Amino acid sequence: MWRFTIGNFSMLLAGGALAVLSLLGPQSAQAQHQELFRSNINSAAVTTMGDVELEAYTGQWRYGVPVSRVDPKALEIFQNVPFTGWLKANNHRAFAIGTPSSCPYSWRSTAYPTAEMAAEEALRFCTEKVLRFNQHQTEQCGCKLAMVNNQLYVDPNELSVPRIAPALWDFGNGSMVAGLLVYERIFGRNNPVQFVDSGGQLRCQGTYSASAMLIDNSFKVNCDFASGVLKGKVGVKNLQSFNPHGEAVVKDNNGNQIRLVVAKSILDYLEGK
């Protein structure tokens, strides 16, 4: 179920990177919050709890050198209120995200005495969730460090809010259809949306409307497993983050009740919590 010039400039760049590293490296006493930098090293994906500590304390990310500036205003995820405060924290912090992008989990840690400890917490909580989620889907998720202090260990494009989310339709008779919701815009009215099942087949398509304040959120889709148009309230929160979640109950033209469960909510729903 559920990507200059060679010669004197490169020497200047390396020298500048080392100077920046002395201020912003993972071992720095305080995480500076004025600027962000892209590391020359990508973090490794963690797929077992045993890998969490290894990646946090011995991973190659610890030797990363900041090589280019990244404008936090250009990163969609950092425009959310919780992240703006987190970026200003004068302590060690880390942000882990699910991988691939269809894995709806992430975790932020802060207020740790070392970068490695912050990395461990972020990876641990993220990985615990995705491993539970893996028990209910075909595609297997992992977690990786997107950021530690002021260094990014993923391509900045990976910090675009995913336009894809796991979902399932529960028909209440023991049968379900699992797959992915795919959409292009997060907010606005009459945005196109599709549902593709775990086998890659397009099963639903239609539109949804959503606002940041969860006012007038609704969807209208045609699905090959239901009679007529399915209409309902979206009820999905945190669409603008890496942790969307929510449910909706609709009826088809035959009066059959169908429940739509999205992203993080799937785990609790399937485990009866």
* pLDDT score, position 215: 60
* pLDDT score, position 53: 97
* pLDDT score, position 214: 56
- How far apart, in whole angstroms, are the C-alpha atoms of residue 265 and residue 23? 40
> Of 84, 171, 94, which is closest to residue 126 (Cα–Cα)?
94
* pLDDT score, position 92: 95
* pLDDT score, position 65: 95
- How far apart, in whole angstroms, are the C-alpha atoms of residue 248 and residue 250? 7
Query: Which part of the chain is CATH 2.40.128?
Result: 164-270
**Longest CA pairwise span in the chain (Å):** 73
Which DSSP letter does residue 41 get? S
CB atoms within 10 A of CB 187: 13
* pLDDT score, position 75: 83
Integer angstrom CA distances of residue 212 from 67, 180, 186, 240, 245: 35, 22, 9, 8, 14
Q: Which fold has domain 164-270?
A: Lipocalin (2.40.128)
* pLDDT score, position 205: 96
* pLDDT score, position 212: 65
In this structure, the strands spanning 151-152 and 36-39 are parallel
In the chain, beta strands by DSSP E = 36-39, 66-70, 92-99, 106-112, 142-148, 151-152, 164-170, 176-183, 188-197, 202-210, 218-223, 229-233, 236-237, 245-251, 257-263
* pLDDT score, position 56: 98
Kindly state the helix (H) or strand (E) to which residue 81 belongs, with its residue range: helix 81-87
* pLDDT score, position 43: 97
pLDDT tens, position by position, for the chain (273 residues)? Answer: 333 232 332 333 233 433 333 333 443 434 344 589 999 999 999 999 999 999 999 999 999 999 999 998 888 787 776 777 888 888 899 999 999 877 878 899 999 999 999 999 999 999 998 898 888 777 788 999 999 999 999 999 888 777 888 888 999 888 999 888 888 887 788 999 999 988 889 999 999 888 766 566 789 999 999 999 999 886 666 666 667 778 889 999 999 999 998 877 777 777 775
